[in-house]
């Protein structure tokens, strides 16, 4: 009888506090017991078919990626029973830790839309990530500010649970289809509001669908609010003061209704919007906090590590990194 080596092998890391939750997994801080390095662990209930399958799809996609614009895959394992997950058996995906959180966390912390130079810099990095994925036949499937992490040097795409290999759809789609039509739709459509028309109509989901979602994400950064189609389909004609015509034109290109008329990621990287020189802005902008947010906030914020907006991670950040700095 085959042995379950993953459960017999001594685990070389310990689970820390919860730092985030997703649709199908819980994210924990973890520490390597051999070298003390910290990383993130996405844990899913092995007894929940949907959770386990979503994390397995993400594992397979991340394992195939080698790009600074994609969250780094560190490995996976499983545990039979752990107290931190209420005694449940879990499947664990080990990924790099990005303490600054997501672009959405950035927006929430500042309580407003982002300046155009920040939006352009973040958008360029997302495009570089999408260009890499699409050139390797990978679809992200759920591009939005929540799934774009602010790394030390650039944005990193994360949360590939709705992704797929274009050349290997049987692996991603067939097992899900066996679970039923409703379950299959959960995995393959992404998030309503960022969803391309062809995906919403269940026609197809390919690389142009990611481009449409990117356009929604740019609107999200420009408005500081979740995108809703009725509000932003005519976004360019109601663009807020402070955003250029080049920005508006870029959004229009991404949001073309016909997926075959949308430029691909590489073409969009050559758009005039990106011709102006700029530097990755996180160090400068992430530390600025508008007065309204400062007055409203009652929780200390770590200036150095920029944790996610969840209260749990805010409270544990300075203890973990011993920075002792707050706004």
Helix, strand or coil for residue 40? strand
DSSP state of 70: B
How many angstroms separate the CA atoms of 98 and 151, rounded? 6
How many angstroms separate the CA atoms of 296 and 161, rounded? 34
Tokens of residue 230, six digits: 């009725």
Q: How many CB atoms lie within 10 A of CB 162?
A: 25
Residue 252 a catalytic site member: no
What are 304-308's contacts with CB under 8 Å, separation 24+? 305/99, 305/100, 306/99, 306/100, 306/101, 306/105, 306/106, 306/109, 306/150, 306/282, 307/19, 307/99, 307/100, 307/101, 307/105, 308/19, 308/20, 308/101, 308/102, 308/105
DSSP state of 299: S
| Among 125, 142, 146, 210, the one annotated catalytic | 142
Minimal CA–CA distance to 76: which of 29, 50, 44? 44
Q: How many CB atoms lie within 10 A of CB 286?
A: 20
Q: φ, ψ for residue 150 (rounded to 5)? A: -90, 100
The secondary structure element, H or E, covering residue 29 is: strand 26-32
Q: Would you say 144 is a known binding-site residue?
A: no
Binding-site residues, in ranges, read 42
The catalytic residues are 142
Binding-site residues for ATP, in ranges, read 42
């Amino acid at each position: 009888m085959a042995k379950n080596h993953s459960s017999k092998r001594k685990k070389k890391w310990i689970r820390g506090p919860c730092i985030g939750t997703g649709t199908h997994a819980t994210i924990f801080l973890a520490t390597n017991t051999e070298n003390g390095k910290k990383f993130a662990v996405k844990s899913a209930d092995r007894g929940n078919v949907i959770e386990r399958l979503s994390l397995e799809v993400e594992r397979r996609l991340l394992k195939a990626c080698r790009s600074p614009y994609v969250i780094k895959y560190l490995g996976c394992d499983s545990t039979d029973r752990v107290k931190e997950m209420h005694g449940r058996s879990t499947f664990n995906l080990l990924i790099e830790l990005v303490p600054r959180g997501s672009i959405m966390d950035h927006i929430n912390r500042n309580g407003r839309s982002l300046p155009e130079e920040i939006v352009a810099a973040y958008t360029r990095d997302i495009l570089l990530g999408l260009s890499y994925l699409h050139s390797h036949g990978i679809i992200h499937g759920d591009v939005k500010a929540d799934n774009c992490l602010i790394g030390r040097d650039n944005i990193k795409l994360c949360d590939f649970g709705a992704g797929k290999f274009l050349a290997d759809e049987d692996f991603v789609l067939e097992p899900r289809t066996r679970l039923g039509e409703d379950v299959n739709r959960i995995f393959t459509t992404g998030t309503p509001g960022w969803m391309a028309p062809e995906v919403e109509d269940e026609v197809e989901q390919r690389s142009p669908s990611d481009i449409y979602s990117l356009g929604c994400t740019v609107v999200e950064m420009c408005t500081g609010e979740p995108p809703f189609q009725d509000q932003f389909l005519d976004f360019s004609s109601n663009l807020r003061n402070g955003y250029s015509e080049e920005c508006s034109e870029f959004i229009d290109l991404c949001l073309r209704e016909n997926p075959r008329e949308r430029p691909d990621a590489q073409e969009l990287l050559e758009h005039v919007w990106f011709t102006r020189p700029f530097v990755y802005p996180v160090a400068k902008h992430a530390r600025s906090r508008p007065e309204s947010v400062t007055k409203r906030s009652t929780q200390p914020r770590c200036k150095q590590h920029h944790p996610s907006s969840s209260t749990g991670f805010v409270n544990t950040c300075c203890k973990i990194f011993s920075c002792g700095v707050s706004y």
